[in-house]
Structure 1
């Protein structure tokens, strides 16, 4: 599938498209990715994240509200490899990643705020799945559709392509 977010904004100007504030940096080899959204809300705890990435991704995009934490990384090389192996199209992380050199060799699209060398904590698996999460000026909901490229991220409540 080939698209440009700018073209989608022009083509679907009559629809309610949410456009993420430009706070994310690109990682992974796939600079253009899209898919149905699955949401996850965690804070400095990657237990639910690893469980989600172990599920079949089926071309979905896992959107992770990590509370914008800059104290550790939620996603590293192992988690990203699991995402690739299980068919996730992409990851959008309101937080940090690590192992960025490895992430940039993997065939997946990743957007995150920054890098951080420390891993997240393995705690009790606290968090929520498939709930409405909001960050970067966008309300993300499981079942919405996300489109990302070099120009940004847009979210629609139904599939555009």
Structure 2
């Protein structure tokens, strides 16, 4: 398991002059839960927006993700999962640090064994239908935070923060 040298609380306390956004988990009644074995993770953001179609999630996590975290805006859908064990295994193989999904995952027992950070709203056994729909590298907005590709995200069990600048070497 990869060790990550930060706590989000400390990053906020140590960088009061920087414009760091903090995800407000209860703004819309949605709360993120940790599903991966890696409980603390961060890196450069790659964004994807997709609704009940994980085609782009699968494609992106099959590419080199060294030092990166995929942030997925699934529209908070509770009807199907946007990632399961096979796609997560591909993410590990391709060196992604983690995935944050504003939606659902599945295969949670398998996810809990993988060296990958995974935060999502919930789990559901239903898979998504792949239609090749989704937008990559666009600004996402949820939890009162704007997520932009190439900015930085830091995630632990305290919460999720986003910065335009790298706050710590990962």
> Structure 2 length as normaliser, TM-score?
0.92
1:127 corresponding residue in structure 2: 134
- Partners of 2:138 and 2:87 lie apart in 1 by 21
Question: Would you say 1:3 and 2:6 are equivalent positions?
Answer: yes
Residues 17-38 of structure 1: CA deviation (Å, up to 9, x unaligned): 1111232000111101010000
1:155 and 2:162 equivalent? yes
CA distance in 1, matches of 2:100, 2:146: 13
* Alignment correspondent of 2:82: 74
Q: Is the counterpart of residue 20 in structure 1 residue 23 in structure 2? A: yes
Unaligned runs of 5+ in 2: 26-30
Q: Whole-Å Cα distance in 1 between the matches of residues 17 and 34 of structure 2?
A: 28
Q: What are the equivalent positions in structure 2 for 1:19-98 lying under 5 Å apart?
A: 19-22=22-25, 23-98=31-106
Q: CA deviation at 1:136?
A: 1.2
1:109 equivalent in structure 2: 117
Normalised TM-score (structure 1): 0.97
Q: Provide structure 1 residue ranges, at least 5 long, that are not aligned to the other structure.
A: none
Aligned with 1:96: secondary structure?
A: strand
Stretch of structure 1 that moved more, 13-22 or 58-67: 13-22
CA distance in 1, matches of 2:78, 2:134: 18
- Cα deviation for residue 15 of structure 1 reads 1.1
